[in-house]
Amino acid sequence: MKKKVFGRVEGLETPAEALVKVIALDRWLPKVATVPVGTNAADLDKTVTAVLTDGSLIDTDVVSGPLKDPAALNKEGGRTEATGKLVDDDREVTATFIASSKKTTSSITGLTVGDKALENFESGKTYYRVSLPYTGTIPSVGAQTTGYQVTVQQASADNGYQASLFLSDQKGDLVQTYLIQFVKEAPALKRLEVVVEGKRKLPLKIKY
């Protein structure tokens, strides 16, 4: 979101105008962490990641509250939650912890744009540009993964029509971000009229 701000420059009489981009909290990346069986509650990671409306990220610490079921961390597949408050903030964030010593594998096989797979996808390539017709709508995006937690920020005017896909591992740590920038093509020009002073209109046909 952009807003105009009006004021005066110190020492000058001329009024000033500035266009300010307003950035706000969009969402929190889900905190769902798999930890080894027997992990002590005091050793749990207390960092959470916020996604802002422009697609940027901010990490912040949480003053963690007590686990609902501390004993759940002592058995395979045990699951418990903790709700904490941000440092210097009253907002609450809930984290889920799953106890497991089993090894898991994670992979990503593709990204989707609308109902189609993104062409030329490579797991190591994290930025893509997708052209759209001038009158086209911005499609939703997604990811085809195994073992990853996926959070998607769809493209909008607030983030410059750039969609972001955040992949977190089983520990809840952000490991990869994929960006899809949508670019609308210029409108097609089919006819151009040139007016010469004192002369009639001269139509020019545009060939493709």
pLDDT score, position 103:
86
Is the pLDDT at 155 greater than 90, yes or no? Answer: yes
Q: How large a percentage of the chain has pLDDT more than 90? A: 44
Tokens for 195, please give them: 């007016």
Under DSSP, the state recorded for 43 is G
Contact (CB, 8 A) for 161 and 153: no
- Give the span between the Cα atoms of 118 and 136, in whole angstroms: 17
Q: So what's the pLDDT on residue 84?
A: 80
Q: Name which residue leads in pLDDT, 70 or 111.
A: 111
Give the single-character DSSP code of 188. P
pLDDT tens sequence across 100-122:
999 889 999 999 999 999 999 99
Residue 189 has pLDDT above 80, yes or no: no
Between 117 and 58, the higher pLDDT residue? 117
Q: Which of 58-62, 67-71, 120-124, 182-186 has the lowest mean pLDDT?
A: 58-62
The residues, any chain, with a CB within 8 Å of residue 162's CB and separated by 6 or more, are: 55, 155, 179, 180, 181, 182
When pLDDT is averaged across residues 152-179 and rounded to a whole number, the result is 93
Task: Look at residue 46 and tell me whether its pLDDT is greater than 80.
Answer: no
In this structure, what DSSP letter does residue 54 have?
Answer: T
Strand-strand pairing, 191-194 and 174-184: unpaired
3-state secondary structure 125-174: CCEEEEEECCCCCCCCEEEEEECCEEEEECCCHHHCCEEEEEEECCCCCE
* 62 token code pair: 């949480």
21-30, 47-56, 75-84: range with lowest mean pLDDT: 21-30
Give the three-class secondary structure for 122: coil
pLDDT given at position 112? 97
- Specify the pTM: 0.73
Q: What is the mean pLDDT of the chain?
A: 84
Contacts (Cβ under 8 Å, ≥6 apart) of 108: 123, 143, 144, 145, 146, 148, 167, 176
Give the pLDDT band of residue 64 (cuts 50, 70, 90).
low
Do 164 and 179 touch, CB atoms closer than 8 A?
yes
pLDDT category of residue 24 using cuts at 50, 70 and 90: confident
